[in-house]
Structure 1
Amino acid sequence: MTFPAFASTQLDPRARGKELGTARRAAITANLAGYGDLFAAAGASPPQVRAWGERALERSAAWSPRLAEELAGIAAGAGLEPWQVAAVNARTEILAAVAATGEGECSTSVVLPGGGAAPRTVQTWDWHDHLREAPMLWELEPFPGHVVRTFTEAGVLAKIGVSTAGLGVHFNILRHRSDHAELGVPVHLIARRILDEAATVEEAAALARSATVSASTVITVVTGRAAASIEISPAGVAVIPNGPDGVLQHCNHFLDAALAEGERHATDRPSTYERLRHLSEHVEELGGEDPTGRARAMLSHGPEHAPVCAHPDLSQPIDQRWETLATIALDLPAARLRVHRGGPCQVTEETWQVF
């Protein structure tokens, strides 16, 4: 099983968005409906969601007019209102606004082996199982000669990805006590601008610091020379570089000491610490050249062990059900993604989708 893929042909942001919206209309509409169900289960009313979507669109337009144009184009192509597409892109912010909680989420490992060898990366992407049809792969050219390839959700501008500038990003959600309901720039748009515009860790961090946010996340940026986890929250932005051994690993809690004082996962999602311990105990395998070996090193199931590979508890409501929907490795020299549909327990040499 593979994820649907789409390659844009348009350079103009609005035209590119409309092309995607037209081609993926059914999937974008279904994703909007799925998020409507998730928002309702988490306690957000339809009028609140609309107000937050409109606010997210305003903040996006002020921070990046080009990306706001692309959102509007997607809406036009999909037959939706711009605020609806903005709400899907701002799903992290809306869930933070209602203080949504739950056990689950992603684990990321990066190893820089040195000696000119390419970075060795892998992450699990956990999300709610009723949204398992939302992911897609998207290739676009935001500027002439600059190609971005991203694993994202239908209608969302970016998530995990690589660019021909030699930069890649991994993506994990965070929760902080400073998160609030006055919606800011969606963190998924920050990931997209980093893929579009940055070639170094420093440039990526500057873009992250330029956005006023209302929700937290960590974008782990990788280049051939360096890596850093850029922890973003309304309380500030912190940059956690790779260690002297070239290792950088992140789950769903803050590593920066100052930001960690406002940590919410300490009580809401304690398994994040177990998952990070699992990664640190398997650095050798996670630093291997073979992406299948790296993915298998992520294999660990709860409740007996760290739940790196998640499977949903169908007895729970939809906002409390988590599944590892994808396992992803970055190939920076080729500017390609290796994507497996499902968790590490299902990975084989043949199940990788190269995009």
Structure 2
Amino acid sequence: MTTPPRISLSGTNYEIGYNHGSSLRVQIARQIESYYEMFQNSSKLDREGVHRRAREYEATILKLVPHLHQEIVGIAEGAGVDVLDIVALNVRSEIVLGEFQDGCTSISWKVVGEDGKSIQYLAQNWDWVRPVQQNLALVEIEQEGKPTIKMVTEAGIVGKIGYNSHSVGVLLNALRASPTDTSKLPIHVLLRLCLESRTASEALSQIEKYGAASAQHILLGDLSGAQCLELSPIRNHCIYPKDNNFLAHTNHPIENTAIKEPSEFPGSKERLGRTHEIVETIGPKNLSPHRLRETIFNDGKNGNFSICASENACKPKWIRIMTLFNIVICLKEGSEPTAEVVFYNDSAAWIDPKNVLLL
């Protein structure tokens, strides 16, 4: 694929949003078209039905995090679209909860480098439908009084997968479960609040303060370590690393009994088990982003349900899930945080070092 656009945003939240919208105007238009097709085919929701649901979440965003509502308004005006279309992009996980199957595999691994300093790796393959890949962007956001954010996001969405200048990083796995609660914040808005936080502890307090509108998993970490947050409108639950300082999560709840899946997420348990198998064989020594990519994240065992998943052409295009990109975030003691991103291209060449982008 072509390299995704890279944009740098700063100023007030409205200015950040407006420049986001104007810079990614073409991608946002494609995103809206793609998601409305998915909404219609997966949940029989037309544009009016989507707007009805989006309107409820917009009121919550305006009430709880007005600065991000201003950003959403700015994105809409910069892109020349209805603000409810941008709200719909930001709450797409909540609008059709349980219908989408965006399967992702996330890990954290805290190790000691050759220089004796600790390194916290946060890494994942992000799996979703091919049409969205052309609408991804590498985004940097500078806000007064807050850490600088670097993330990979979908055009029009205010928060997603990445890290900030205070060495706080976040990853995302979708979970499929009821209920939803429109009085709480959508997952992509919560991810943005995490990325605005100075520590993982501060990010967690933000999540607890506002609550998650749907069941989702965030892998949250900083230099002190990482934790899996299995979120639900009913009750949140944290999973901490065991003795090997390793965590992994896919697309099913592991410990949060408040999350009740309507059906098992295909391949999720197999991917989780496979991740632990690989970790046992490679060990923590001489770990690097490239080694993680070529071992865990390039693994093709279990076919279309593998950690590195190819598109299943037999399925309708709006549910043909495949790996779109890999990200490895490196939070190192005494160093600036960094991240490497590689976009999937249907061949093993995607893990070649020359295809790596620095976020």
TM-score by length of 1: 0.91
Aligned-residue identity in percent: 23
Aligned residue for 1:244? Answer: 243
Q: CA deviation at 1:302?
A: 5.1
Partner of 1:165: 166
Contact 2:149 2:165 in 1 (8 A): yes
Distance across 1 between alignment mates of 2:87 and 2:143: 19
Q: Closer, same or farther in 2 for the Cα pair 1:166/1:212, shift >3 Å? A: closer
Q: Distance in 1 between matches of 2:20 and 2:304?
A: 41
State the alpha-carbon separation in 2 of the partners of residues 179 and 134 from structure 1: 29
Aligned equivalent of 1:194: 194
The residue that corresponds to 2:314 in the other structure is 315
Q: CA contact under 8 A between 1:122 and 1:295: conserved in structure 2?
A: no
Is 1:14 the counterpart of 2:9 in the alignment?
A: no
Q: Deviations along 1:280-326, whole A, 9 cap, x unmatched?
A: 11225374532111011122325459511111112211232101000
CA contact (8 A) 1:120 1:289 kept: no
Aligned partner of 2:289 in structure 1 is 291
Q: 1:100 to 1:183 in 2, by over 3 A?
A: farther
CA RMSD of aligned residues (A): 2.0
Contact 1:111 1:286 in 2 (8 A): no
Are 1:107 and 2:111 matched, yes or no? no
SS of the residue corresponding to residue 193 of structure 2 reads helix
Match of 2:357 in 1: 353
What residue in structure 2 maps to residue 73 of structure 1? 74
Q: Deviations over 1:141-167 (max 9, x none)?
A: 123462100111001011111111111
**Equivalent in the alignment of 1:35:** 35
Rounded to whole Å, the distance in 1 between the matches of 2:283 and 2:179 is: 32
Report the counterpart of residue 233 of structure 1 in structure 2: 232
How far off its partner does 1:125 sit?
0.3
User: Cα 1:145–1:203, aligned 2, differ >3 Å: closer, same or farther?
Assistant: closer
Runs of 4+ with >6 A deviation: none
One-letter identity of the residue aligned with 2:276? S
Q: Do the aligned residues in 2 keep the contact of 1:128 with 1:322 (CA within 8 Å)?
A: yes
Question: In 1, distance between residues paired with 2:195 and 2:74?
Answer: 20
Q: Is the contact made by 2:105 and 2:124 (CA closer than 8 Å) also made in structure 1?
A: yes
* Equivalence map 1:1-355=2 (5 Å): 1-8=2-9, 10-43=10-43, 44-96=45-97, 99-102=98-101, 105-114=103-112, 115-144=116-145, 146-176=147-177, 178-180=178-180, 182=182, 184-200=184-200, 202-259=201-258, 262-264=260-262, 267-283=263-279, 285=282, 287=284, 288-298=286-296, 299-301=298-300, 303=302, 307-332=306-331, 333-342=335-344, 345=348, 346-355=350-359
Corresponding letter in the other structure for 2:269: Y
Q: What amino acid does structure 1 have at the position aligned with 2:351?
A: V
Runs of 5+ unmatched residues, structure 2: none
Task: State how far apart, in whole Å, the 1-side matches of 2:167 and 2:324 are.
Answer: 26
Counterpart of 2:90 in structure 1: which amino acid?
N
Given that residues 14 and 70 in structure 1 are in contact (C-alpha distance below 8 angstroms), is that contact kept between their aligned partners in structure 2? yes
Q: Is the 8 A contact 1:94 1:181 kept in 2?
A: no
Q: Distance in 1 between matches of 2:250 and 2:16?
A: 33
1:203, CA displacement in angstroms? 1.7
Q: Which residue identity does 1:259 align to in structure 2?
A: A
CA apart distance, 1:34? 0.9
C-alpha separation in 2, matches of 1:170 and 1:314: 27
* Matched positions, count: 346
SS at match of 2:118: coil
1:22 Cα offset (Å): 1.1
> Cα–Cα, structure 1 residues 309 and 247, in superposed 2: closer, same or farther, change >3 Å?
same
C-alpha separation between the residues in 2 aligned to 1:138 and 1:131? Answer: 16
Q: Which amino acid aligns with 1:229?
A: C
Equivalent-residue separation in structure 2 for 1:305 and 1:134 (angstroms) = 23
1:55 positional shift: 1.5
Structure 1 distance, partners of 2:31, 2:339, is 23
- The 3 A distance-change label for structure 1 pair 304 and 195 is closer
Amino acid at match of 2:106: T
